[in-house]
């Protein structure tokens, strides 16, 4: 199983999320700090969920996002298959637990 770590845009090392605040069920503000001491950059940003690729299996989900357009779903299927195609923002690491 893979988990994803944030990557510092300044130096490429790992960043730690220092604080985050949910603004809505699909939008969260975040503050992160680079863990590479000589860099030490800090950033503010956000995380949002835009579409459902597949709907929740619950009878009454708290929220239902619009189903992604077919082009987005097609891209997601390709991304799930291509493990080497990581975004610069995130880095995959193998979970040890």
CB 42, min distance to Zn ion, A: 9
- How many residues at the interface with Zn ion, by CB under 5 A? 7
Token duo for residue 68: 């992604």
By CB under 5 A, residue 33 contacts Zn ion: no
Among 4, 5, 10, 53, binds Zn ion (CB under 5 A): 10
Q: Is 7 in the site for Zn ion (CB under 5 A)?
A: no
Measured at the alpha carbon of residue 33, what is the angle toward residues 92 and 51, in degrees to the nearest 5? 50
CA distance 52 to 10: 32
Q: Where does 1-97 have alpha helices with state H?
A: 70-81
For Zn ion, the closer CB: 41 or 76? 41
Please, which residue, 14 or 73, has the CB nearer to Zn ion?
A: 14
Burial degree of 9 (CB within 10 A; 0-12, 13-18, 19+): middle
Q: Is 34 in the site for Zn ion (CB under 5 A)?
A: yes
Residues within the interface to Zn ion (CB under 5 A) = 8, 10-11, 34, 36, 39, 41
């Amino acid at each position: 199983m893979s988990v994803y770590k944030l990557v510092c845009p300044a130096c490429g090392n790992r960043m730690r999320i220092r604080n985050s605040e949910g603004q809505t069920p699909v939008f969260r503000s975040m503050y992160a700090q680079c863990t590479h001491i000589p860099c030490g950059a800090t950033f503010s940003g956000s995380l949002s969920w835009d579409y459902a690729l597949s709907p929740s299996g619950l009878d009454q989900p708290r929220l239902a996002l619009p189903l992604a357009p077919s082009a987005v779903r097609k891209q997601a299927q390709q991304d799930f298959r291509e493990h080497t195609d990581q975004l610069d923002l995130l880095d995959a690491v193998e979970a040890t637990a």
